[in-house]
A = this chain, B = another copy of it.
């Protein structure tokens, strides 16, 4: 079940380096692309950084509306991640071509994809130099959700193994999030 994640904990949805699906929408249309180059940028207010190529239709929608969602796909969506990452919304309708299922929509009509482990709704912090020079977009997280069978009480806990997240390599190659380990620093100070 999709539940809200406190914004101050939302960095944990990205901390382990999963691949993301970036969705965006304006009044006419919606699109989605894949982005492996995404990371948390600040705790509070929570911010993210993501690289969006100038060629992409999703970027055009984001530049127009100033908003996007980082969907964190589960391993069920590996094929879809590759499909939306290797096609353009300028040429095809990805939603119908790949039969993409939506979980819900944000207030701004941006779709949240089904079978994702988490979602971060972000508002662009305008940085034209970064956007032009590096294709680098910075966003403030304005809402975050996770499937409670994957993330609960501020921690990843994959009660449903099929919700494990994906880490992109190249081509059609991914790693699935692996074994959880816990270590102690052995130091007196709190970690």
Binding site for B on A (CB under 8 A): 12, 15-19, 36-42, 47, 49, 51, 75, 78-79, 82-83, 86-87, 129-130, 134-136, 138, 154-156, 164, 167-187, 189, 191
Please, which residues of chain B bring their CB within 8 A of the CB of A186?
79, 83
Chain B proximity of A157: nearest CB distance (Å)? 10
Q: Are B42 and A49 in contact, CB atoms less than 8 angstroms apart? A: no
Please, which residues of chain B bring their CB within 8 A of the CB of A134?
41-42, 47, 49, 138
Question: Given B39, B129, B136, B180, which contacts A38 in the complex, CB threshold below 8 Å?
Answer: B39
Chain B proximity of A81: nearest CB distance (Å)? 8
Please, which residues of chain B bring their CB within 8 A of the CB of A15?
36-37, 167-170
A-B contact pairs, 23 of them (CB 8 A): A15-B167, A15-B168, A15-B169, A15-B170, A36-B40, A41-B134, A42-B134, A78-B181, A83-B186, A83-B187, A86-B191, A130-B130, A154-B170, A155-B170, A172-B183, A172-B184, A172-B191, A173-B180, A173-B182, A174-B182, A175-B179, A175-B180, A175-B181
Q: Are A191 and B42 in contact, CB atoms less than 8 angstroms apart? A: no
Give the number of times this chain occurs in the complex, counting copies. 2
Q: Are B171 and A87 in contact, CB atoms less than 8 angstroms apart? A: no
Q: Are B167 and A185 in contact, CB atoms less than 8 angstroms apart? A: no
Please, which residues of chain B bring their CB within 8 A of the CB of A173?
155, 180-182
Cα distance, A14 to B178, chains bound together (Å): 17
Chain B proximity of A72: nearest CB distance (Å)? 11
